[in-house]
Chains A and B, each alone.
Chain A
Amino acid sequence: MAARKFDVRAYPGFAYITALCLLILYVPLMVVSVYSFNSSESIVVWEGFSTRWYADVFVGSESAKFKVAARNSFFIAVIAATVATTIATFAATAMIRGGKFRLRALSFGLISLPLMVPEIVTAVATLIFFSSIGFERGILTILLAHIAFCIPFAYLPISARMQGIEDTYEQAAMDLYATKRQAFTKILLPLMMPGIISGFLLAFIISLDDFIITNFVKGAGVETLPTAIFGAVKQGIKPNIMAISTMLLAFSIVMVTISYFVSKSGENK
């Protein structure tokens, strides 16, 4: 083929729009992060670099409230992500290693239901459910709601990973007299591990970040970090809120980055 004078694939301006897109996505987050290091009481003027608002989060007047909220958030996220990942791993094994079966499409519909129903509808429905059976709202209701909501987020990376693993590995193990259970725990599970870890981390972040469902099913006086932040923001954005937000933001980014590299490292094996 003759050399072209221009690249048919390239369009002028697309690179600029891509740059604009990244700016839009990142600038607000960066601005808030930078201002969280402002030494001023006010969020309007920049008065120099300081970490006083970070100190304020840990020892300031509102620190007790934030500590409880953070503890609740992490407690719920660890348990919800663990349970959801376990359920999702079993489900993925059935869906990918179970051959074709009649309920397969229906099962997948059920698994992805939390993704299709708008979050606020899930929140309303869950609240109505707990209230109608007389289940008192508190940490436990948040936890149960999060487990269900996190399942599809854990399921997707796990099933994607399992699809990439041929069943010849288990077959070989079983030819060598491994039981199915051994083939699962000794062969399949280790091979799936990158998918499982990445599913766990995503479920963890989804739970940690959730506001809408938590806001509906939490009892009075029970707060997680997002609901505490929301309550505080309603009174106006204060610098200590920006410090907490920046920490949470950094935490999420670190988790997602780990998840990315774990699932990538799995690909090269």
Chain B
Amino acid sequence: MAGGAASGGSTQGDTYKEARNWLLLPAWVTLSILVLLPVLLMLVYSFLTKEFRGGVIWEFSLGAYDQFFFDRGLFGDEPPKLEWTYITIFWRSIWQAGLATILSLLIGFPTAYYIATRSEKVRPLWVFLITIPYWVNLLIRTVSMRFMLREEGPINNALVWSGLADSPIQMINTNFAVQIGLFYSYLPFMVLPIYAAVERYNFSLSEAASDLYASKWTTLRRIVLPSVRPGVVAGCILVFVPSMGAFLAPDLLGGAKNFMIGSLIEEQFKGNAGNWPFGAAASMILLSLVLIILTLYARQQARANKAGA
């Protein structure tokens, strides 16, 4: 997903050229039936009519998208006005994901840079340390963040004990908690691609800049950052995209007032007031947004490769 080498790896010989299609068949069949077909079916469902107790009626309707964007009054006969409820939820998701991405970048970039400038022997160990939390159950990590941010949790205890706050600060069930949760969930995704980029960076460029009397920070801003930009962009995408569709962090840390797209979608399928076409439409809108971001990224990547070649 990240990086320009996203083509499945380069080929290494053609020993099994004849068996190729047979070898790929299980993957094709499984993924086409269980991922690709369902996504297409979801697109179809988003244009169907809702049935009141979950499920759909097979009748074409733009109702789901209409409900998302327009308000036609209680009986649906008033002139359409823009419906802000869902647009606000989408906007909040983008905003929260954006803040989490910026926070991850502020912590992740220096970390990645620091790790990439360690000796070659200890680098894999550092990377491993950063990776471990990613493999720990996201649910458990979110629960532990909830535990930390609670009113009587360790952070508040420390704040009160040290005198930084007079009384516990309300952190749980706020937008702030969701941002922290998203940041915490996807921070390793920011560090790894930036690390890979800095590791490839030619440090004699920094030396040259320094010889020409550039200050350290000028060198960082004008020389290092432009060179490792692809890694930074990849990291930002890897944090932003899953943050936007996140369900656990808003649900467990944000409470009912800080709804994001993930919760909106979940409600349509798990709740009693399920509206499947609407849920499918919201999923389609989320998916389109993600595909637009990934396409822009791929195009920029291709242009960068061309320029580099």
Chain A residues packing against B (C-beta within 8 Å): 1, 4, 8-11, 13-15, 17-18, 20-22, 24-29, 31-32, 35, 43-44, 86-88, 90-91, 93-101, 103-105, 107-108, 110-122, 124-129, 131-132, 144-145, 147-149, 151, 159-160, 162-163, 165-167, 170-171, 174, 180, 183-184, 188, 202, 205, 208-209, 211-212, 215-216, 226, 229-230, 233, 237, 241-242, 245, 248-249, 252-253, 255-257, 260, 264
Chain A residues with CB under 8 Å of B262's CB are 120
**Interface bin, chain B:** 35 or more
Knowing A113-B36, A148-B35, A237-B143 touch, does A11 contact B266 (C-beta < 8 A)?
no
Chain A residues with CB under 8 Å of B287's CB are 117-118, 121
A116 contacts B114, C-beta separation under 8 Å: no
CB distance from A142 to the nearest CB of B (A): 12
> Total number of A-B contacts with CB less than 8 angstroms?
315
Nearest B residue to A7 by beta-carbon distance? B117
For B107, give its contact among A20, A100, A101 (CB under 8 Å). Answer: A20
Q: For residues 209 through 234 of chain B, which have their beta carbon under 8 Å from a beta carbon of chain A? A: 209-210, 216, 219-220
CB distance from B89 to the nearest CB of A (A): 14
Complexed CA–CA distance, A11 and B287 (Å): 40
A121 contacts B27, C-beta separation under 8 Å: no
Chain A residues with CB under 8 Å of B187's CB are 21, 24-25
B14 contacts A99, C-beta separation under 8 Å: yes
B139 contacts A21, C-beta separation under 8 Å: no
A167 contacts B13, C-beta separation under 8 Å: yes
CB distance from B138 to the nearest CB of A (A): 7
Nearest B residue to A113 by beta-carbon distance? B35
Knowing A21-B187, A21-B191, A125-B39 touch, does A43 contact B8 (C-beta < 8 A)?
no
Knowing A105-B7, A229-B140 touch, does A14 contact B110 (C-beta < 8 A)?
yes
Knowing A24-B107, A148-B31 touch, does A97 contact B137 (C-beta < 8 A)?
no
Knowing A8-B219, A14-B113, A29-B133 touch, does A128 contact B28 (C-beta < 8 A)?
no
